[in-house]
Amino acid sequence: MLLATATVPHLFWITSRAAGIAGLVLASLSVAAGLLLGGRLLSAHRSELRAAHEALSLATLAALVVHGLTLLGDAYLHPSLADLAIPFLSGYETLWTSAGIVAFWMLLVLGLSYYARARIGVQRWRRLHRFAALAWALGLVHSLGEGTDAGETWFLACVAIAAAPAILLLLGRLRDSSAPARIGAVQ
Amino acid sequence: MSPGLSSARRLAQERRTAIRRRTHHIRRWVAALAVALFLCAFAVVYVQMASGHDPALTASSHRNATTTGSAARSEATSTSSEASSSAEEEEFGEEGSSEAGPSAVTTSQS
């Protein structure tokens, strides 16, 4: 009972932290699924991967909305909606907070643009969609730089397990895309 | 319509239904995963905070303890200044800090 009473004033904060962690793990899984979708690995399961990638992306966006909106109720930070939506406006850990805000807007625009890809043009949309990995990396930087639990072993282990496959796949993709250029340069 | 064409259509329809079913299953699975992740993270942060091991609260309570200690120290110094000289004040201030320090730390740990 005493324990519950002690945590009640921080419920918004706890919810925001939990949603942020869930968002980071879901985003990492989504990036990994997206990279697998574009690669030759698991090409036989393309429709399942596409469904997983889409569902994971939408779940990430939902978690990030909860992460931001619950902070509005936090009695300690007490941010305004503008502080949470506009980069470089909040006075609290301005750089890390802005990294998170920019990452969120990038993920939102690049994610939801999937539904307008016919209008944008599939090739152009694909080129743009690559920046989603950059947004995810920004989110990772935001969580490690500003996250309350960033120094905790369980958090670091959780992030490492979730992010490692995406990082490896991303490095593989970058290596693959730079290989023809290198060969061309040698020739 | 030839029997071959109708069976091909039926096959395509079945395939589409199977893909739709699998997609629906994946969406439900991801939704469950998202909820489970959130609940798990919530439970970990909650227990961490309730047990007094929250990284932010531990750091801020240490800061508060130091501030409370300094406040007690300055209060003790001002009280003693009515009765003592300025040199004695400093001595008493040091004693005040050593008395106020542990009590503040005890408060933050409880």
B76 closest CA partner among B89, B85, B87: B89
Check CB contact of A65 with chain B, cutoff 8 Å: no
User: Chain B contacts of A22, Cβ < 8 Å?
Assistant: 34, 37-38, 41
Structure tokens at B95: 């004693």
Cβ separation A59–B34 shorter than 8 A: yes
Give the dihedral sign, CA A167/A142/A96/A150. negative
pLDDT score of B108: 33
ipTM for the whole complex: 0.87
Strand segments (E) across chain A: none
**Do A6 and B56 count as a contact with CB atoms less than 8 A apart?**
no
| Partner residue facing A18 (CB), from B19, B38, B51 | B38
Closest residue in A to B23 (Cα–Cα): A51
**Interatomic CA distance for residues A15 and B42, integer angstroms:** 6
- A138 to chain B, closest Cα gap in Å: 21
A56/B30 CB distance under 8 A = yes
Which positions of chain B have pLDDT values less than 70? 1, 59-110
What is the block-wise mean pLDDT of chain A (187 residues), using blocks of 10 residues?
Answer: 65 95 96 89 82 96 96 90 93 92 96 93 93 95 92 92 93 80 45
Among A77, A91, A27, CA closest to A53: A27
- Contact (CB<8Å) B49/A10: yes
- Confirm or reject contact between A61 and chain B (CB < 8 A): no
Domain definitions of chain A by residue range: 2-186
Residue B107's pLDDT is: 33
Contact A51 B26 (CB under 8 A): yes
Query: For the whole model, what pTM was predicted?
Result: 0.77
**CA A17, CA A66: separation in Å to the nearest integer?**
10
Provide the pLDDT for residue B61.
64
